[in-house]
């Protein structure tokens, strides 16, 4: 499969347009290596930058590829150079992305519209640079492409998502315990995820009644382990929605602690407390499913419908009994989950599941491909691997699948350590392509 040539512009100024990505054929892009790299001696690198390329279908294949600190104009400015010896591939550098501020003034609050580059750039060519790109944020990609994509229905979109979006850094008394290898699924905050371009957030919400204040009892967990309190993350989502015209999909995917008794019956007061908190914090943006949902097999409302109504938060809820008595909630969103620690089995499952989605009896117009492997109990007990290593074995293949086998039917694609793939930029391009066929 050949990529569509992309030309993306920053929009910090109406007078100056800076090209951020360009190639006459094929494509290059940057990702972040999720696993820690051990060097000789005691040194190690986290967040090493990866150089990726795909020149399948091109007649003029560049001979080399490099990492640059700014827009590539000459090989003399390259920080790292590697030979290209295949039509597509990747190479991991020994240079870390680091944890600098988000560009475009998005670090502490709302910033500029349009894509902006972080510091690293990638370039490929022979004597001259033929293709280049940067590692970027896409905080307003829906608005940036509104004239092209707003007639797509939410079930027709390609939506970049994060699995266990809140499991990114401990904020509990166990923060010094060495358990993050099998707990933390992301390494960027919910705010940063949204700014980078993630639009689907997979939340696993727990309830702990020993906190004095009711609003402090709701947490985001990874299974039974508390990671972060829910309230500040809802407030981050509210700030993002208040200051953009983006549509966000929030999924209450699992309730691991405190929501059900031993028989499985829901504690309705706990569920109602959560709904009250969500409505208090996000109410002005909540899209009412009873008013904006369009029934079975309709693929849901268009982006334009949600934007015209100024109701740009879709809140899906995994408990049908709670949805039945709260018609504003969006019903269970099908999660295409392979439940395997084998990347081969994962992709075999997702290839089939995405092809056969949406199911005719699905109540939701959307579906989420859970594109990550699941460690076994023995993996965790014997510390075999880690979620970072698992993500490294999966993420670049997710990018390849999304541009080929999943190209037509993928809806939400949820991953761990999302900077290890190119799902955000690829989804944007796919949405433009899908909309062009309407």
pLDDT at position 434 over 70: yes
Extract the runs of DSSP E, i.e. beta strands, from 11-128. 19-23, 27-32, 37-38, 44-45, 48-54, 64-68, 80-83, 88-96, 116-125
What is residue 172's predicted lDDT score, i.e. its pLDDT?
64
pLDDT at position 5 over 70: no
Query: CA-CA distance, 271 to 110, in Å (whole number)?
Result: 31
Q: Buried (b) or exposed (e) across 52-80, using 16+ Cβ within 10 A?
A: bbbbeebeebbebbbbbeeebeebeebee
Consecutive H or E run containing 307: helix 303-309
Tens digits of residue pLDDT in 108-146: 789 999 999 999 999 999 999 999 999 999 999 999 999
pLDDT at position 351 over 90: yes
Tens digits of residue pLDDT in 263-292: 999 999 999 999 999 999 999 999 999 999
Tell me if 237 sits within 8 A of 282, measured CB to CB: yes
Band of residue 296 on the pLDDT scale cut at 50, 70, 90: confident
What is residue 340's predicted lDDT score, i.e. its pLDDT?
96
pLDDT at position 1 over 60: no
Question: Which of helix, strand or coil describes residue 34?
Answer: coil
What is residue 184's predicted lDDT score, i.e. its pLDDT?
92
- The residues that bridge with 314 in the sheet, in sequence order, are 249
Structure tokens at 357: 């989605």
What is residue 377's predicted lDDT score, i.e. its pLDDT?
82
Tens digits of residue pLDDT in 43-74: 889 999 999 999 999 998 999 999 999 999 99
- Please spell the DSSP secondary structure of 66-79, one letter per residue: EEESSS---GGG-S
Band of residue 7 on the pLDDT scale cut at 50, 70, 90: very low
State how far the alpha carbon of 436 is from the alpha carbons of 248, 286, 432, in Å.
23, 29, 6
What is residue 17's predicted lDDT score, i.e. its pLDDT?
62
Tokens 């969103």 sit at which residue? 333
pLDDT at position 343 over 60: yes
- The residues that bridge with 414 in the sheet, in sequence order, are 161, 370
* Higher local confidence (pLDDT), 2 or 394: 394
What is residue 382's predicted lDDT score, i.e. its pLDDT?
67
Mean pLDDT, residues 237-264: 97
Query: CA-CA distance, 376 to 182, in Å (whole number)?
Result: 10
Candidate from 28-37, 233-242, 344-353, 356-365 with smallest mean pLDDT: 356-365
pLDDT at position 437 over 90: yes
Band of residue 15 on the pLDDT scale cut at 50, 70, 90: very low
**Percent of the chain surpassing pLDDT 90:** 82
pLDDT at position 202 over 60: yes
For the beta carbon of residue 29, count every other beta carbon within 10 angstroms.
25
**Percent of the chain surpassing pLDDT 70:** 94
In CATH, what class is 141-436? Answer: alpha beta
What is residue 99's predicted lDDT score, i.e. its pLDDT?
83
Tally of helices (H runs) and strands (E runs) in the chain: 13, 20
State the average pLDDT for the chain: 92
Candidate from 273-282, 374-383, 387-396 with smallest mean pLDDT: 374-383
**Angle, vertex CA 127, rays to CA 122 and CA 131, nearest 5:** 35
pLDDT at position 12 over 70: no
Query: CA-CA distance, 336 to 186, in Å (whole number)?
Result: 20
What is residue 39's predicted lDDT score, i.e. its pLDDT?
77
Question: Which of helix, strand or coil describes residue 2?
Answer: coil
Query: CA-CA distance, 123 to 381, in Å (whole number)?
Result: 43
- Does the predicted TM-score (pTM) go above 0.85? yes
Band of residue 2 on the pLDDT scale cut at 50, 70, 90: very low
Tens digits of residue pLDDT in 65-103: 999 999 999 999 999 999 999 999 999 999 999 988 899
Output phi, psi for 190, to 5 deg.
-60, -40
Query: CA-CA distance, 293 to 289, in Å (whole number)?
Result: 5
Of 154, 113, 116, nearest to 135 by C-alpha is 116
Annotated domain spans of the chain: 8-137, 141-436
Consecutive H or E run containing 429: helix 423-436
CA atoms within 13 A on the CB side of 118: 25
Q: Buried (b) or exposed (e) across 197-228, using 16+ Cβ within 10 A?
A: bbbbbbbbbbbeeeeeeeeebbbbbbeebbbb
């Amino acid at each position: 499969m050949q990529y569509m040539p992309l030309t993306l512009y920053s929009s910090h100024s109406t007078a100056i347009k800076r090209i951020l990505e360009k190639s006459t054929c094929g494509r290059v892009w940057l990702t972040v290596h999720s696993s820690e790299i051990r060097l000789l001696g005691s040194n190690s690198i986290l967040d090493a930058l990866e150089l990726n390329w795909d020149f399948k279908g091109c007649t003029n294949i560049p001979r080399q590829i490099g990492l640059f600190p700014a827009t590539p104009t000459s090989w003399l400015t390259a920080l790292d150079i590697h030979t290209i010896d295949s039509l597509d591939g990747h190479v991991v550098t020994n240079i870390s992305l680091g944890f600098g501020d988000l560009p475009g003034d998005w670090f502490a609050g709302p910033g500029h519209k349009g894509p902006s580059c972080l510091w690293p750039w990638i370039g490929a060519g022979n004597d001259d640079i033929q293709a280049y790109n940067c590692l970027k944020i896409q905080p307003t990609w829906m608005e940036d492409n509104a004239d092209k994509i707003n007639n797509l229905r939410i079930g027709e979109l390609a939506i970049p998502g994060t699995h266990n979006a809140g499991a990114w850094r401990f904020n509990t008394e166990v923060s010094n315990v060495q358990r993050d290898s099998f707990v933390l699924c992301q390494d960027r905050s919910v705010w940063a995820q949204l700014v980078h371009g993630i639009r689907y957030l997979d939340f696993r919400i727990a309830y702990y009644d020993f906190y004095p204040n009711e609003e402090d009892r709701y947490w985001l967990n990874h299974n039974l382990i508390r990671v972060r309190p829910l309230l500040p993350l809802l407030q981050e989502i509210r700030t993002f929605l208040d200051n953009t015209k983006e549509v966000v999909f929030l999924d209450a995917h699992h309730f691991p602690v405190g929501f059900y008794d031993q028989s499985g019956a829901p504690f309705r007061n706990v569920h109602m407390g959560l709904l009250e908190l969500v409505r208090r914090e996000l109410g002005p943006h909540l899209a009412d499913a009873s008013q904006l949902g369009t029934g079975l097999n309709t693929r849901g409302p268009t982006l334009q419908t949600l934007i015209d109504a100024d109701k740009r938060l879709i809140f899906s809820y995994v408990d049908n009994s709670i949805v039945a008595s709260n018609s504003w909630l969006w019903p269970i969103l099908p999660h295409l989950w392979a439940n395997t620690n084998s990347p081969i089995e994962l992709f075999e499952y997702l290839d089939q599941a995405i092809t056969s989605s949406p199911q005719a009896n699905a109540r939701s117009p959307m579906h989420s491909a859970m594109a990550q492997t699941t460690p076994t109990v023995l993996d965790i007990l014997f510390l075999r691997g880690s979620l970072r290593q698992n993500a490294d074995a999966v993420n670049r293949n997710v990018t390849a699948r999304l541009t080929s086998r999943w190209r037509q039917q993928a809806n939400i694609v949820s991953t761990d350590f999302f900077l290890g793939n190119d799902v955000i930029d690829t989804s944007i391009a796919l949405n433009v392509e899908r909309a062009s066929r309407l």
